[in-house]
Amino acid sequence: MSDATVFVVDDDASVRDALSLLISLKGLRASVFASAEAFLAVYQKSWRGCLLTDLKMSGMSGLELQTQLQERGVSLPVVVLTAHGDVNTTRTALKNGAVDFLEKPVDDDVLMDVLLNAIRIDEERYQAVETRVELTQRLERLTPRERAVLDLLADGLQHRDIAERLSISPRTVEVYKARMMEKLQCRSLADVVRIGTQARAGKG
């Protein structure tokens, strides 16, 4: 979590200062913004952590900020903090992807638990993307025939069946399999099946 930052968006300066101080005292980095517009104007895709936004602000509201983030494909987890909560607003915020909805005043420990959970979600999303990118790079090293062998092994076919399917000899299947496993850095058939299954899911 060394790169994680809590991005605080609130039009009340006293609230921004209090939240920034609390977050810093708990060992996290905080970056504050006086409006949703100010946050969007400087947002960068490389930012990691979570967004803590007020609901009702002058200018763009917290819900409108959520919508803007969705339209831009921003996956930064959002926590909504407000003194004006109601069932419909809460439902809308959660439907728009907020990981939590808290009402002011909020207990410091509860807030930090929610923020740490949001940061954990961001880390999991980031790692999942990194894993997909790495898998894609490995798969791109395969020849069409090696990829075909991978797919058929993932389907559970034996070497003899694969040979018949591809009109090659079982020995040639072994050669393609060995090359494919080396390129994918697979140590076992289980690794091959796992990667083949992930690759097929990625196609979908």
CATH number for 100: 3.40.50.2300
Reported pTM: 0.71
CATH number for 166: 1.10.10.10
- Domain identity same for 180 and 107: no
> The tokens of 139 are what?
């798969």
- Cβ-Cβ contacts under 8 Å for 58 (sequence gap 6 or more): 11, 35
> The tokens of 98 are what?
């907020």
Q: Is residue 199 part of a domain?
A: yes
pLDDT along the chain (204 residues), means of 10: 84 94 94 96 93 92 91 91 78 83 89 95 89 87 93 91 94 94 89 83 58
pLDDT value at residue 1: 47
- Domain identity same for 87 and 32: yes
- Domain identity same for 155 and 85: no
Residue whose entry in the numeric block shows the structure tokens 């140590």: 187
Helix (H, G, I), strand (E, B) or coil at 166: helix
Q: Is residue 136 part of a domain?
A: no
- Domain identity same for 191 and 90: no
* Cβ count within 10 A of residue 194: 13
Q: Is residue 150 part of a domain?
A: yes
Q: Is residue 122 part of a domain?
A: yes
- Domain identity same for 50 and 148: no
Q: Per-residue DSSP letters for 100-163?
A: EEEESS--HHHHHHHHHHHHHHHHHHHHHHHHHHHHHHHHTTS-HHHHHHHHHHHTT--HHHHH
pLDDT value at residue 2: 53
Report the alpha-carbon distance of residue 18 to residue 27 in Å, rounded. Answer: 15
- Domain identity same for 21 and 70: yes
- Domain identity same for 107 and 177: no
- Domain identity same for 38 and 113: yes
- Name the domain count of the chain: 2
pLDDT value at residue 85: 67
Residue whose entry in the numeric block shows the structure tokens 């080396």: 182
pLDDT value at residue 203: 57
